[in-house]
A and B are shown apart, each in its own frame.
Chain A
Amino acid sequence: MFKLVKRLTSVIAMFAVLFTFTTETMAAKKSKTLKNTQKKGFVRCGVSQGLPGFSNADAAGNWTGVDVDVCRAVAAAVLGDSSKVKFTPLSAKERFTALTSNEIDILSRNTTWTLSRDADIGLTFVGVNFYDGQGFMVRKNSGISSVNDFKAGVSACTNLGTTTELNMRDFFNSKGIKYEPVTFEKADEVVAAYDAGRCDTYTTDKSGLAAQRIKLSNPDDHMVLPETISKEPLGPVVRQGDSVWEDIVRWSLNTMIEAEEYGVTSANADMMKTSDNPAVKRLVGAEGELGAALGLDNEWSLRIIKQVGNYGESYKRNIADTGILPDRGPNELWTKGGILYVPPAR
């Protein structure tokens, strides 16, 4: 009886192993994620639960933001239509699990690129679409004008499970200040608790502070301190192990940034096909066979620029014109004093 069971299990196990091998070899030939996306007809994109400027839904459920535009760019490149995206709002806690467990294919949710996230938990960061840094917001009438004015006993509200929590500790420890961390799962609750006076300061990425300040009952009573206590390069993330998909997302983002560099906009992209500059012609697909390397047609990048726009257009539309951060700071092109610099598309 037991022998029979044993033999049965080994047979089943053998089949299981065989089956995984066959699917493995098929996946190696073509990107599984790309194939699934084309079959489904939409890109599955993980975004925040509402961060103005980055990913925010209006009353009608239309998502906008620079993070949203990355997913739209991929949809334009892969499916030919930037509106074919299914957005999944995720908390900081859920985001990586949602990606590794195959619920989404791109995580574009103001996520900081760190070594441990990149190397340890099955994720791959493909680039940076916003250079940020952590800051502090305080009440204007508190008399605090610099992070050096904080005293022991200060209570700080923030989101749990983010790099913010770790930076905050490093910062207060380096100053030798004993502090009280009050951490919430959702950003709206952090804002509500800070607004109620539960905390003396609210700390998160500076772009986030600028965006969340609008939600406070009296935004003008609050200000963001000038100091930046950390590096927060935010960018889209994909699952580890699908290098074709990884390249598609990376070069969709790069295309937007390079288009700004060469002055290609959603308005003039078609005309640029006859440009004298070969780099511009390559960018709009009028020269070379760049799409084929990614398993796409040659107009993929043209569609991104026409439907989503270049990086500058996206920034202006979502972050500058909404009054969140009118000054581009480090998120300006390298040719204009910023640090946006992408490898050439050739």
Chain B
Amino acid sequence: MNFKKILPQLLTLVVVILVFGFFSYNAQVNMENRGITFGYGFLSQESSFDVQFSLIKYDGSHSYFRAYLVGLLNTILVSVIGILFATIIGVVVGIARLSSNYLIERTAAIYVEFFRNIPLLLQIFFWYFAALRALPLPEKAEPIFGVFFLTIKGFFVPAFVWNNLDIFIYSVISAIIAIVFVRLYAKKKQENQGIQTPVLSISIGLLIILPLLSFFLGGVDASVEIPVIEQLSKTSFTFKGGLKLPPELISLALALSLYTATFIAECVRAGVQGVSKGQKEAAASIGLTPNQVLKLVVMPQALRIIIPPTTNQYLNLTKNSSLAAAIAYPDLVLVFAGTALMQTGRAIEIVSITMLTYLTLSITISIFMNWYNKKIAIKEK
């Protein structure tokens, strides 16, 4: 044992523990002096407040813990939607910025410079308050394709009413498992015999055929419920039936994806430009088609540059979703660190849980993206 080596580290550890100990001791003493009790028991108490939009069954007779789950799921929902659209828009705009067409290139550049240079909170307010005011009241809403209604009270869309939904889900899962096996088989075949298999068309076929079979053989049945206008009072209307996406969710998802997409677009542009010209020319010279050049040579190398900074953007988007509280979207911060905190007054407990939750969410995204990054990294043999 090299005592001299570990002594400074040990001392640092002691100092850290002492500092933490001092702060928690100080908090304890102060809370005691002010008659504030500490504990997580409140989580099982009845919450007695309602939330306008939740993915799981919830009302005020459920517990604070259930309210926490409602907020958490809403945060995950808006983050997933945001990440999905930000990625799509980001990739399209990023590639558009490399276009040789002047108009397309300039439009993409202006979009990027405009949206990334305005504070996100302002953009959220804009989409919610300015764009919301422009939307029609329910009774004046023009149906889109006859069944979608975009109104000031939300986006009303038809909902599926399922029979034997579980069998349908199993069929989709088995299709996905089958696709994984087909892919493994195709890879082996190519390695051994050099024959390519049309994996994509087989995958799509599986994804269509297996769920279709569940309809015919598994007794799965789905009908569509179309939203119908309903009168609440002489001048006030709403829609009944179908699925309702609150305007808060739409504005927030829109603002988050448009904002984050600008950063992702720049990552994509940097990634593609980072692949040297010689790679493309070499690929073309051995007779690969332009599509194959992009798919087999440019993208795999560009992705290595794109993924790490894009991970940051995904993390930012998830954390930025906490701005939801400003426009009444019931996310984790609004429901749990907002209403629940106010009703219970348990600031330390609730803020610590909320912080830990965001930390867990971010680390999960981080781990997944690091795994993906490692997967596509150069494998030196």
Contacts and interface: CB of A to CB of B under 8 A. Distances in A.
Nearest to A161: B342
A179 B50 CA distance: 9
A175 to B, nearest CB: 14
B247 interface: yes
A185 B325 contact: yes
B334 A16 contact: no
Contact of B34 (A161, A180, A192, A239): A239
A256 B328 CA distance: 39
Interface in B226-251: 230, 232-236, 238, 240, 247-248
A240 B18 contact: no
A226 to B, nearest CB: 16
B152 A142 contact: no
B29 interface: yes
A182 B345 contact: no
B235 A184 contact: no
B334 A160 contact: yes
| Top 9 A-B residue pairs of the complex, sorted by shortest distance between their CB atoms | A161-B342, A143-B234, A121-B345, A122-B34, A122-B36, A142-B233, A240-B35, A153-B238, A122-B35
B347 to A, nearest CB: 5
A100 B52 contact: no
A196 B342 contact: no
B366 interface: no
Contacts of A122: 31, 34-36, 345
Given A141-B235, A168-B50, A200-B233, 8 more contacts: A121-B344, A122-B345, A138-B233, A143-B233, A157-B328, A166-B48, A193-B129, A198-B153
Contacts of B238: 153, 155
Nearest to B133: A196
Most chain-B CB neighbours within 10 Å: which of A92, A139, A182?
A182
B153 A155 contact: yes
Interface of B: 10, 14, 18, 21-22, 25, 29, 31, 33-37, 48-52, 60, 129, 132-133, 137, 152-153, 230, 232-236, 238, 240, 247-248, 325-328, 330, 334, 338-339, 341-347
A155 B31 CA distance: 39
Interface in A185-239: 185-186, 189, 192-193, 196-198, 200, 239
A120 interface: yes
A12 interface: yes
Interface size class of A (residues with CB under 8 A): 35 or more
Given A1-B10, A139-B236, A182-B52, A161 B338 contact: yes
17 contacts: A9-B18, A100-B36, A121-B344, A122-B31, A139-B235, A141-B234, A142-B233, A143-B234, A155-B238, A160-B338, A166-B60, A183-B334, A183-B338, A185-B326, A193-B132, A193-B328, A197-B153
A81 interface: no
Interface string A1-33: 100010011001100100010001000000000
Contact of A160 (B10, B25, B33, B342): B342
A290 B340 CA distance: 43
A84 interface: no
A180 B29 contact: no
Contacts of A142: 233-236
Contacts of B338: 93, 160-161, 183, 185
Given A96-B345, A192-B129, A197-B152, A241 B51 contact: no
Contact of A189 (B31, B37, B52, B327): B327
A101 to B, nearest CB: 8
Contacts of A150: 232
Contacts of A1: 10
A274 interface: no
A40 interface: no
B34 A100 contact: yes
A153 B33 contact: no
B61 to A, nearest CB: 9
A161 B233 contact: no
A15 B232 CA distance: 67
A117 interface: yes
A162 interface: yes
A287 interface: no
Contacts of B21: 9
Contacts of A100: 34, 36
A296 interface: no
A339 interface: no
Contacts of A198: 132, 152-153, 247
A8 B15 CA distance: 11
Nearest to B347: A97
Interface in A89-145: 92-93, 96-97, 100, 116-117, 120-122, 138-139, 141-144
